[in-house]
Structure 1
Amino acid sequence: MTDRPVRTSVPTDQEPVTTNGTLALVNLSAQIDGVAAPLRRAGSAAPHAVAQQAVLVDLLTLRGHLLGRVTDYEQAAQLSEQMVRNAPDDSAALLARARARATLHRFAEAMADLDAAGGAGAAQSTLDAERAVILQAVGCHAEAHALLRSAAPDQSDFTMLSALAFFQAERGETAEAENVFDEARAAHRGVSPFPLAQLEFRRGVMWLREGDLPAARSWFDAARRRVPGYAPAAGHLAEVDLLLDAPETAVARLRPLVETSDDPEYPAHLALALRAAGRPQEARPWRDRAAERYEELVTRHPEAYADHAADFWLMVGGDVDRGLQLALRSLVMRQTSRSYALVRSAQEASEGLDPRRLRAQTPCD
């Protein structure tokens, strides 16, 4: 953890002003319905259909993240596949499918779509920014940084600074990231609460990884206050509650999430919190619900959910062998520091494993 003093809050007079987060979520769903309805009536061959479908893919992906709705991610992916079938040489369709595939961690296919979009005339700065996100996700930090710098002149200050802050946070460069997070907040010029809530959430993730629970709580809470329905922020606040030995508070945070989200992470964490609160009988149905849902998602989207499912089986599910199997599967698909750490955790929980199974190179080596 860094020795630098932690900046855990922003003075009120420096707080960026945005629209009400609850109303913004309502408006987001209304916007999705407003874009989808005429597309259903007119069909995919209508003029400007690709442009409107691309907007819909991005809106669905945003709502999926904010509310923890895997079904939104899946709908976005299905729509993007349809777009490319109908317009295989359209750069907007290819870019939309690349983003949808990257959301579900289908990174190699997303990169192929970006290559095709380049051939179809997509702007180089757009391609560089999209590739940088993917390369960062798979642990290719040097390559990602070079592309971020290349894309920066054609991006807004907020977008550029946010991407740099995320990059530095992912690299563990917390002192540098703190400064850039502040610069990004100051550079925000819109009224939507979503970009700033995501920025605050990622800042909380950085401090949670560093083990600074008060700082993590401060930023997760900032994101949740900006957008009260922000599921990942509330879920991570519950994680902090558990780490601070406040399981009943975690239970209270998680109960609304298991009703509105179809992500198994929340029933899994609710089961963990109920066990920590000494209520194992109440925990069991939530554990079973999470187990069933993880199996569904690993079957449909292994790249995105194998690592989360491995965590579940090791921490909540009580099946070390299944956890190890999924951890190794995740490592084959993506050789990142998280993947290696997950396999090591599974290895520590199970005896007699061959450490040579862990030897692999990252895709950047």
Structure 2
Amino acid sequence: MRQREAWVAWCALVLTACSGSMSAKSTAPLYVTTSGALAVANLDHLIAQQRDAAGAEELLLVRARFLADYEALDRASTLAEGRVETGRELLQRAKARSAVHRFADALTDVNAAEHAGVDAGRSQALRASILVATGHAGEVVAQLEADAAHHPGFASRSALAGAYAALGRYDEADRLYVEALADLDTTSPFPYAWVYFARGLMWTEQAGDPARGEAMYTRALVHLPEFATANIHLAELEVARGELKSAMARLESVVASSREPEALALLGELHVRTGEAERGSSEIAQARQRFESLLERHPLAFADHAAEFYLGPGANAERAWVLAQQNLAGRETDRALTLAVQAARATGRKDEVCALASRVRVRPEQVKDDCQRRP
């Protein structure tokens, strides 16, 4: 399974740009939203209207996250890097840098933005999201709890839910995600799809409950069928129970719209598995090329996914080890540690396996090895 750890914290901050008004009074159990196709068309219209004006970055980041449009990610990064004269622009650059996992640089920008006089609430929320994404949820959970208590709403509750999930407090996190959904008062499908995806990611990959997670991924896709990452995760679950035809159709749709390398790689594996070796090998080669191109542009953003690829169909464990170490240097999360353990094991680094495994905090049984774990 593939996990995007910075997703939860990042989305809680930027989705307000496309989610319309929000209210803490909405309690409707059924959420009717604009069709995904229309929402994407509206987003693209806004992006075209904005051109290179301030605010275009956040719209582009939304497109990148939901549709795996990495050219939009390139453009958002370029725009943000070119505008740093005000505290607000520094904060926007921090968001863009966080989106490509340049977390240390992003924190530097947050500090500079505070010195320039930006609203403390905005800067503190972004700093907290970065700390959660880099494995320091315990340091900010008290702040996030206070924010949720004093300013209850979609952003504060979903941010706290992400921190609880990182700490293994899954039931509490899920309750907060449900409350965050009730806070929304918008017909945009993006924030609803994100909350359901975040819940799916938590239950499937962190809590080890794929059945519950699959129900959440499915709900995310009801709101936004074009959601690339949700489709990839759901396809992985379909493959796990032998539903190859459905998984392949899902992945082919993602590849056609985005050339997402994870989708390409998994589709290639499935074509090899089902007797289309030449086609599958070609898709795996395309995935390799796509990963390397993305690593050149945003090395930290794709180090983890590329490492997983090289541990699998990419068949280059040493390359995976280098990338896993690079990823771990930027964020010591359990996910990053587990990936490094896998790469160390694949390359025969027994001492590193034990040392890395001993640092996993939540569900350490996932990386059990022959070595004696330290308490």
Common fold, TM-score beyond 0.5?
A: yes
Change in CA separation of 1:99 and 1:345 when aligned onto 2, cut-off 3 Å: same
Which residue does 1:81 correspond to in 2?
81
- Aligned mates of 1:356, 1:286 — CA distance in 2: 31
The answer on 1:228 being equivalent to 2:225 is yes
Change in CA separation of 1:228 and 1:288 when aligned onto 2, cut-off 3 Å: same
Which residue does 2:202 correspond to in 1?
206
The answer on 1:30 being equivalent to 2:26 is no
Aligned residues of 1:248 and 1:277 also touching (Cα < 8 A): no
- Aligned mates of 2:349, 2:195 — CA distance in 1: 43
Residue 38 of structure 2 aligns to a residue in which SS? helix
Report Cα offsets for 1:300-340 as digits up to 9, x if no partner: 22211111111000011111121122212222232221121
Aligned residues of 1:270 and 1:283 also touching (Cα < 8 A): yes
1:256 is matched with which residue: 245, 253, 259? 253
- Aligned mates of 1:113, 1:154 — CA distance in 2: 26
The answer on 1:342 being equivalent to 2:315 is no
Displacement of 1:214 in angstroms is 2.1
Identity %: 34
One-letter amino acid of the structure 2 residue matched with residue 68 of structure 1: A
Larger mean CA deviation between 152-161 and 285-294 belongs to 152-161
Which residue does 1:70 correspond to in 2?
70
- Aligned mates of 1:155, 1:260 — CA distance in 2: 39
Report Cα offsets for 1:213-236 as digits up to 9, x if no partner: 222221111111101211111111
Which residue does 1:46 correspond to in 2?
none
TM value normalised by structure 2: 0.83
- Aligned mates of 1:282, 1:341 — CA distance in 2: 32
Change in CA separation of 1:122 and 1:149 when aligned onto 2, cut-off 3 Å: farther
Larger mean CA deviation between 196-205 and 273-282 belongs to 273-282
Aligned residues of 1:335 and 1:361 also touching (Cα < 8 A): no
Change in CA separation of 1:16 and 1:337 when aligned onto 2, cut-off 3 Å: same
- Aligned mates of 1:291, 1:179 — CA distance in 2: 39
Displacement of 1:35 in angstroms is 1.2
Residue 211 of structure 1 aligns to a residue in which SS? coil
Which residue does 1:126 correspond to in 2?
122
Larger mean CA deviation between 352-361 and 296-305 belongs to 352-361
Aligned residues of 2:196 and 2:217 also touching (Cα < 8 A): yes
The answer on 1:280 being equivalent to 2:295 is no
Displacement of 1:126 in angstroms is 0.6
Aligned residues of 1:204 and 1:216 also touching (Cα < 8 A): yes
- Aligned mates of 1:312, 1:233 — CA distance in 2: 18
Aligned residues of 1:201 and 1:223 also touching (Cα < 8 A): yes
Which residue does 2:141 correspond to in 1?
145
Displacement of 1:353 in angstroms is 4.5
One-letter amino acid of the structure 2 residue matched with residue 200 of structure 1: Y
Greater relative contact order structure (CA < 8 Å, 6+ sep)? 2
Residue 351 of structure 1 aligns to a residue in which SS? coil
2:298 is matched with which residue: 277, 286, 301? 301
Which residue does 2:310 correspond to in 1?
313
Residue 135 of structure 2 aligns to a residue in which SS? coil
- Aligned mates of 2:209, 2:273 — CA distance in 1: 21
- Aligned mates of 1:176, 1:361 — CA distance in 2: 24
The answer on 1:173 being equivalent to 2:169 is yes
Residue 65 of structure 1 aligns to a residue in which SS? helix
- Aligned mates of 2:252, 2:168 — CA distance in 1: 32
- Aligned mates of 1:153, 1:264 — CA distance in 2: 41
Which residue does 2:58 correspond to in 1?
58
Change in CA separation of 1:95 and 1:151 when aligned onto 2, cut-off 3 Å: farther
Give the paired residue count. 331
The answer for unaligned runs of 5 or more in structure 2 is: 1-27, 361-375
Aligned residues of 1:224 and 1:233 also touching (Cα < 8 A): yes
Residue 19 of structure 1 aligns to a residue in which SS? coil
Aligned residues of 1:343 and 1:358 also touching (Cα < 8 A): no
Residue 296 of structure 1 aligns to a residue in which SS? helix
Report Cα offsets for 1:54-83 as digits up to 9, x if no partner: x21110000111101111111111001111
Displacement of 1:167 in angstroms is 1.9
Residue 83 of structure 1 aligns to a residue in which SS? coil
The answer for unaligned runs of 5 or more in structure 1 is: 1-12, 40-51
Which residue does 2:191 correspond to in 1?
195
The answer on 1:322 being equivalent to 2:319 is yes
Larger mean CA deviation between 175-184 and 147-156 belongs to 147-156
Displacement of 1:246 in angstroms is 1.7
Which residue does 2:157 correspond to in 1?
161
Residue 63 of structure 1 aligns to a residue in which SS? helix
- Aligned mates of 1:357, 1:326 — CA distance in 2: 19
Displacement of 1:347 in angstroms is 2.1
